Structure 1
Amino acid sequence: MSGREAHGAGAGPTGPEVGATGAGPVADPADVFDAFDAGLSPDAQHVAGLGLAADAQDLLFRRARTANTFTPEPVTDDQIRAIYDLVRFGPTGANAQPLRIVLVRSPEARARLVARVSANNAPKVTDAPLVVILAADTGFHETLPRVFPHNPGARDWYADPAFRESQARFNAAIQIGYFLVGIRAAGLSAGPMGGFDAPGVDKDFFPDGRLRSQLVVNIGRPGPDAWQDRLPRLDADEVISTV
């Protein structure tokens, strides 16, 4: 079966393809990049079964890339607030919301962070218009009476510090995924990096021990030679199974 057949055509169990002008074959996602370059209409590029317009699909996923260089254009606090105000509605366990976003603005803080990242990442952190540290708040349970009010005992679920930290890290990681997509929604690019000394970053930036660094992310408008070649993605048949 071809990729086009595998992804279906026209109406299906979920109804007609969203945004289509009529029944007919649906563009294979693997062909979407060429479709944009060839100047095909958004309808021709739309993937069946999605309620998101083709240009939004492109902005958030298909054409979005990890940036390695950035222009000098600043990234403002208002932009970051707008991103957070969008992505904060993503779900977390018990509505815990443990992600904390630290904007590294001062030259002194930037220098401390550069000293804690890998040699390959140091120039990127030095030059990016904005760098953020994404951390998990191990004291997230303190806000549960406010954000999970229908269960007054929820705070007590996390009395064990080790379990609380594991849940903070897990749910913060979920929120990090939302945040990265939110950066794309703002028309910006992200350069997430795991190559850093996490205990060192925690010591330098979170000395009270409450926050745990998860990821360092450069944010801005992509600069010259920002992209590497896109790496292969697994096919749906390799990922999705039915039991």
Structure 2
Amino acid sequence: MTTTLAAGALDQIFGGARSNHRFDDRAIGDDTLRQLYELTKLAPTGFNAQPARYVFVRSAEAKARLAPVLSSSNRDKTLAAPLNAIVAWDSRFFEHLPQLLPGRDVAAYFVEEEPIRSAGVFNAALQAAFLIVAARSLGLDAGPMTGFNAAALDREFFPDGRLRSLLVLNLGYGDRSEIRERGPRLAFEDAVRVL
């Protein structure tokens, strides 16, 4: 970890990237989905808990199930994307800890609902951020959004109640013909203190 990525790679992942919700009609194949997951699973999470779960929505039938839970302002752009990723968190993620964190008994941390929810949501959000970076690294554009009825989405896709939706991410090869300029960002001096 001593080499800085080339400027072009950094630009693809960060500087030139935008949240995009317009895509061309190229499909995202299963090999790319597998690559996307293999990169995403490397995200750092507390206790190596890895609470995020992913549902890749690609078929017309699955999109028809997704459509009713989307806000009216997000419906058309979401359904037009070649792929939608539902990122959820597993409310029983701690059951995997003996496998993911061998040799450490952390069961006492995950008895009460609030620590479970807090760790699940926070760490799944880290994994969702890695998913966006992984997508950009593979040449995809990503458009994350929370404009959906989470309770309705959960009833439709996760009826047993174990998984709980966090966000929907539109993925594809971006149409940049109408991409917006990046919104302002805080300056270093406004956001950072060095002590």
SS in 2 for 1:64: coil
Structure 2 counterpart of 1:140: 93
1:192 counterpart = 2:153? no
1:55 counterpart = 2:8? yes
Shift in alpha-carbon separation, 1:226–1:83, aligned structure 2, 3 A = farther
Indicate if the aligned counterparts of 1:67 and 1:226 stay in contact, CA closer than 8 A.
no
Q: Deviations over 1:69-91 (max 9, x none)?
A: 11110011211211221232221
| Aligned residue type for 1:219 | L
Q: TM-score, normalized by length of structure 2?
A: 0.94
Q: Deviations over 1:176-198 (max 9, x none)?
A: 11110100000010011111101
Q: TM-score, normalized by length of structure 1?
A: 0.76
Q: Deviations over 1:187-225 (max 9, x none)?
A: 010011111101110111111111110110110011253
Instruction: Give the Cα separation in 1 of the matches to 2:81 and 2:41.
Output: 25
Structure 1 counterpart of 2:102: 149
Shift in alpha-carbon separation, 1:65–1:219, aligned structure 2, 3 A = same
Give, in angstroms, the shift of residue 230 of structure 1.
Answer: 1.5
| Cα RMSD after superposing both structures | 1.5
1:105 counterpart = 2:61? no
1:164-243 → structure 2 map (5 Å cutoff)? 164-223=116-175, 225-243=177-195
Indicate if the aligned counterparts of 1:68 and 1:226 stay in contact, CA closer than 8 A.
no
Give, in angstroms, the shift of residue 53 of structure 1.
Answer: 1.5
Structure 2 counterpart of 1:80: 33
SS in 2 for 1:231: coil
Aligned length: 194
Ranked by relative contact order (alpha carbons within 8 Å, sequence separation 6 or more), the top structure is: 2
Indicate if the aligned counterparts of 1:67 and 1:191 stay in contact, CA closer than 8 A.
yes
1:131 counterpart = 2:84? yes
Structure 2 gaps of 5+ residues are: none
Moved more, 166-175 or 108-117: 108-117
Give, in angstroms, the shift of residue 60 of structure 1.
Answer: 0.5
Q: Deviations over 1:111-152 (max 9, x none)?
A: 12111111111111121111110001111101100010020x
Structure 2 counterpart of 1:70: 23
